[in-house]
Structure 1
């Protein structure tokens, strides 16, 4: 571990120039005292590290010195695909490995390309999770990732909405969608056909995971990206089987893509002509009636459900229930307290 850390320290100085001991400690996730010891070890091994004193001081390499110890290990090479995803890399247990791999790659680049790489990293950041949602705990994510890489069988307990089940999984890949981690795996099903099936498992719902020495062969020609795209398409088609006719105000037309995504965009593209007030009528694919009512209520008074009759009736019932919970205050009954200007009555 110390040898890896010394190399990382050397590459940091080579790539970034002068750095202070606290800056190096933060990058390497060690104490400042450890940095001092590592600097002494590098100097003792013949690396020309100079210490500049004063407020603008720090450590730097002698001008023109470049190390050629930049060979990538297997794990570092495998982590490079996560270069734009530091958060997910950390969750996968590859944060330190990825940092070292990036430093090695940059150290091996010619100076102009290395500078361009640094500028891109300074100016582009991908934050995968959605807004206003705490990240799900995924304590078994590194274990699942290791099983995917090593093609090892996992025995798991999985929390479904109907209760826990036990499964033997042969994990084929991992997908990060909207800040949520999923495992794509082949499971020996208990269904009547008895055939193996590729399925998707939400990793946060894994209750227990144990890896075994048994390995497996991946299905010939399996394409993780193609499987996920088809699975997402089927899920979308399964969920949005109903069509609602909805009148939308100009404000609701602006909100619809944010609330309903591509489904809302498509509905607006096919909308009818606007009336004098700018309202349009659209046909909007929606989920089951309870979900549709909840989704459409989020548009407030800027939308009116025209049909089908069952959905309109459900909206009327929901709005009536809300009105009953929030009755309009009676005139004059809003504030019974005397204001400072109101004289108290005698007697």
Structure 2
């Protein structure tokens, strides 16, 4: 452990130049006193490290000195695939390992490439979650990731959308996917590969038995096919809607991508009234009602009849709520004027 810390200290100075004892202590998560001892040990071993005294001082290496002790460990090399995702890496319990891998990689680069790497870090950032969505609580993510990495069977208690709501499954984990801030476990269960939302895992236990992995399984290809099938299976009905051009444009920002895409592809010509007729995929009458309400009076449902009736009822109740309130206010104002006149 101490040897790894000494190497990290050396690489920090090599990559960043002069650093104070307090800065080194913060990076290494140790006390300042420990930094003093580590610097002394490096100096005693022949590393040309020296200190500048005073408020602007700090430790630095002799100009031109570079170590070649930058070999990555297996875990560190693996985390480099997460280098653009420090948040997800931390969720997987790999934040410190990723930081160590990046430091070693940075220290091993010659000056020009190292500067370019720093510019990339300063100018590009990946924010995985979608807008207006907080990260989902995934208390069992580390256990699930451990099963994926170690290729061990995983027994989970899982909450699903249909009855029975809670089920127990023994899974062969195949991979983890981060989709718009949501983690999904791709796993083999009863000779069928499918995806499970990690936030819905209520309990997870790693088993001693090795997991099974189908031959030639490719995680990226499976995920592409699965998401396409899933989106098609969710939207089991269609609604015919007459809407304004502006409403069709707003669907891009207000609706799930599949609903917006189909509506655009199905849009007919714009009439003299500035409206067009299109087809919108929906999951159910209730779902279509909730989603299409976002467009307000700029959209009129033509079909199916059940959905149109739902909107008719909604608009009637809204009219009672708002117009009725205005009438009540008007009646109350009239009564108040009558009282004033009588006095």
Q: Could you say whether these structures have the same fold, taking a TM-score greater than 0.5 normalized by the shorter chain as the test?
A: yes
- Distance apart, 1:221 and its partner CA: 0.9
Give the one of 163, 168, 175 matched to 2:177: 175
Tell me the distance in 1 between the aligned counterparts of 2:93 and 2:136: 16
- Distance apart, 1:80 and its partner CA: 0.9
Aligned to 1:263: 259
Q: Over residues 201-250 of structure 1, what are the superposed CA-to-partner deviations in whole Å (9 max), with x where a residue is unaligned?
A: 11122222221222134211111111111111111111112222222224
Give the one of 267, 272, 278 matched to 2:268: 272
Tell me the distance in 2 between the aligned counterparts of 1:216 and 1:15: 41
Aligned to 2:307: 311
Aligned to 1:192: none
Q: Give the match's secondary structure for 2:256.
A: helix
1:71-110 mapped onto 2 (5 Å cutoff): 71-110=71-110
Aligned residues: 334
Tell me the distance in 2 between the aligned counterparts of 1:30 and 1:131: 37
Kept after mapping to 2: 8 A contact 1:239/1:288: no
Kept after mapping to 2: 8 A contact 1:79/1:98: yes
Q: Over residues 328-347 of structure 1, what are the superposed CA-to-partner deviations in whole Å (9 max), with x where a residue is unaligned?
A: 5336938x99xxxxxx9998
Aligned to 1:39: 39
Q: Give the match's secondary structure for 1:312.
A: helix
Structure 1's unaligned 5+ residue stretches are 189-195, 338-343
Q: Note closer, same or farther for the CA distance 1:290–1:8 as it changes in structure 2 (3 Å cut).
A: same
Tell me the distance in 2 between the aligned counterparts of 1:90 and 1:197: 30
Give the one of 229, 237, 241 matched to 1:246: 241
Q: Give the match's secondary structure for 1:330.
A: helix
1:195-206 mapped onto 2 (5 Å cutoff): 196-206=191-201
Q: Give the match's secondary structure for 1:272.
A: coil
Tell me the distance in 1 between the aligned counterparts of 2:317 and 2:38: 68
Give the TM-score normalised by structure 2: 0.88
